[in-house]
Amino acid sequence: MQPFEKSEYLARIEKTKQAMAKQGIDTLVAVDPANMNYLTGYDGWSFYTPQAVVVGERLPEPICCTRAMDAAGAKLTTFLKADSIIGFPDHYVQSTERHPFDYLAEKMRERGLDRGTIGLEMDAYYFSPMAYEALKAKLPNARFVDSKGLVNWVRAVKSPREIEYMSQAARIMERVMRVAVDAVEPAVRQCDAVAKIYAAQVAGTPEYGGDYTSFAPMLPTGIGTSTPHLTWSDKPFVRGEATILELGACRLRYHCPMARTVYLGKPPQKLLDMEKVVLEGTQAAIDAAKPGATCEDVEAAWRRVIARHGVVKESRIGYSVGLNYPPDWGEHTMSLRPHDKTVLQPNMTLHVIPAIWMDDWGVEISECIQVTDRGAKPFCDFPRKVFVKA
């Protein structure tokens, strides 16, 4: 039933323990849902209540702690033995008197995990200051340190099976973008186009069903293209306006994202000029993404191209991508930007998205790539351009 062999989970846990040893961490409390999934297979939309996977130096296998009603889901989706699954009682949920991590701390103490150095994911989603304070108060004999994205970094290089799932997501992504480009038409309500996008994302292909993506479809339109991260309204698309489609596809929680820009009518020359710059810069970045190059080298290749055209962009042009849960398909490790000296290795996977936002317009064209021995390879086969629909 699990998407990976048990041996793959065990290898991930072993790598995690090695990284823990290097960082002097005895016990790791992973709260990031993607890290929980990576280590145990746990999968459910239950991250709206506190939960964690605990990896202990001497624990035979990780502990998975969820709300009691979700412990049944942990039994169904993980390889863990029943006594490694802990459900906190429901009166801990959204209580003003007690926190679920009071309960987790108690269970950790019972297992002798209340001493030594405990690594916490200090900047993870779904780990609140209150949860942090609960652990500190209830485990007074432990020393707490930031894990610095320890499991995220273990995830950075993908296994062949992970690449396979991202490739399946890519097949879905190609269909989704085709549907999306076709759906953006004058007088069509944005919501009706997005309905088709969602349907394509989830139906997937006849071979591979799609999963929910960690971002909702984003499709700023008109003046909205000057900013990312706007979703949609029930207003119609308008002739003479651009729409940015920043979409994803997901297979078994592994993502392949893609952005394209659609213009309804005759695009202004500045948009067409910018398209050329972005395409040239994107190709330069992809060509630079070879094993041994650093993340900042990749960005520099892009920057050289756009500088020649007098274009300036301050924000990063990409990030590691793969396994995740809402609200982000990025993995919070590598960023393609100055000062990121991470050395690229085969089977790292990145979303190269050098978006340009101007005062009242913008362009996005992106590729999700796999670093291979011979250089970067886009996951998708889809025309890389601004789609002009007359």
Look at phi and psi of residue 11 and say left if phi exceeds 0, alpha if psi is from -120 to 50, else beta. Answer: alpha
Instruction: Retrieve residue 244's tokens.
Output: 């940015």
Question: Residue 67 CB, nearest distance to a second copy (Å)?
Answer: 8
Distance between CA atoms of residues 40 and 114, nearest Å: 22
Q: Which is nearer to a second copy, 14 or 360 (CB)?
A: 360
Question: Residue 321 CB, nearest distance to a second copy (Å)?
Answer: 13
Q: Which is nearer to a second copy, 9 or 325 (CB)?
A: 325
Distance between CA atoms of residues 209 and 390, nearest Å: 33
Question: Residue 120 CB, nearest distance to a second copy (Å)?
Answer: 7
Distance between CA atoms of residues 382 and 390, nearest Å: 20
Q: Which is nearer to a second copy, 13 or 118 (CB)?
A: 118
Question: Residue 154 CB, nearest distance to a second copy (Å)?
Answer: 16
Q: Which is nearer to a second copy, 13 or 256 (CB)?
A: 256
The angle that helices 100-110 and 129-138 make with each other, rounded to 10 degrees, is 30
> Which residue type is seen at 120?
L
Q: Which is nearer to a second copy, 153 or 379 (CB)?
A: 153
Distance between CA atoms of residues 215 and 244, nearest Å: 15
Question: Residue 158 CB, nearest distance to a second copy (Å)?
Answer: 19
Question: Residue 354 CB, nearest distance to a second copy (Å)?
Answer: 13
Q: Which is nearer to a second copy, 257 or 378 (CB)?
A: 257
Q: Distances in Å between the alpha carbon of 182 and those of 176, 177, 192, 194, 279?
A: 10, 8, 12, 11, 22
